[in-house]
Homo-oligomer: A and B are copies of this chain.
Amino acid sequence: MRKKVTLKQLARELNLSISTVSKSLKNDPEISEKTINRVHELASFYNYKPNALAVSLKSNKTKTIGIILPEILNHFFAKALYGIEQEASNNGYKIVTCITNESYKKEVEYVEMLNYSSVDGFIVALSQETQVLNKFDHYQALKRENVPVVMFDRVSEEIDCDKVIVDDKEASKNAIEYLINTGCKKIAVITTISDLSVAKLRLEGVKEAIDINAEVTLIELPLRDSQNVEAEIEKFLNNNDLDAVLGLDETAAAISINMSHKLGYKIPEDISVIGFTDGLLSKHSYPKLTTVSQHAEELGAKAAQILLNQLDDFEEKHISKTEVVKTSLIVRDSTN
């Protein structure tokens, strides 16, 4: 194993002290130009790079941020991760990604593990179980140690930290209004994620939008068994003579479209469909899905920006802010 080159070795070969070499590499003006050049030459000959671990230990900074995600197969989080990664790497930060799989226990484990000097700060979207249990001790601990945390999308009011969320309430309100405006009267809201904070907000928006002329029915379906979800939605669509469906997640909308086909309903003539999360399914459904875009990538990027700012100019007393990213309704072919 060809060992990595260290300052020590460079120093020995050049007959200089370690500190002189170190300073030379930083072009410290107190070192003679001649020495600086000699050092740079040998360093680049050996392709010297400082040992990141040692630098981190010394500086107490790792240039790494920890990302806690509930899921990665979900396009929304994948896009957010993409946005985070871009922003981080553009600023010389690495990311370490942990996937909790919606488990509280894993979330706690990950946060604790990363907090032992592996990362400078966290970007978090809470797991479903954590939201249900409402237990946030692991974040209080970070707070106490003054470790910067930015939460996005899946947040909790009980945690005092910067947050980036989507105006979910407004979004579903707009969606329902759009449906009503295009003549839909009997509208169903289908959700497979009722435990989540975002679902609750979306539901609130729905309620606000309910018009005297329209009848909005709500159905919640458990996600556990995806076979069932399809059958349930099919049955539901068949039993109710609906004008429109608002799916509170992308899958619900996609399945609604497909079950409508199966039942022989024409979209959007017989039934309109709107979904959430402008992911692959929305773009490649037939007809293309009208959908609420949450701008996941910007969301992730924004969360990263906020965190990086906090890491750069660290203030002892930080006042938490919540930033709301506007959604937009992307009208495609599944609505009138």
Q: Find out whether the CB atom of B96 lies under 8 angstroms from the CB atom of A145.
A: no
The digit string for A246-285, where 1 denotes a CB below 8 A from any CB of B, is 0000010011011001100000000000000001110011
Contact A72–B82 (Cβ < 8 Å): yes
- Cβ of A123 to closest chain B Cβ, rounded Å: 13
- Are B78 and A82 neighbours in the complex by a CB distance under 8 Å? no
Q: Is the CB of B73 within 8 A of A284?
A: no
A216-261 interface with B by 8 A CB criterion = 251, 254-255, 257-258, 261
Given A53-B62, A73-B78, is A94 in contact with B98 using a C-beta cutoff of 8 Å?
yes
A133 is an interface residue with CB less than 8 A from chain B: no
On whether A146 and B98 interact (CB within 8 A), knowing A54-B57, A72-B81, the answer reads: no
Least CB distance, A244 to chain B, in whole angstroms: 19
Residue of B whose beta carbon sits closest to that of A77? B78
Is residue A118 contacting chain B, with contact meaning CB distance below 8 A? yes
Provide the A203-221 mask, 1 if CB < 8 A to any CB of B, else 0: 0000000000000000000
Binding site for B on A (CB under 8 A): 1-4, 47, 49-54, 56-57, 62, 64, 72-73, 75, 78-79, 81-82, 85-86, 89, 94-99, 106, 110, 112-118, 141, 144-146, 251, 254-255, 257-258, 261-262, 279-281, 284-286, 316
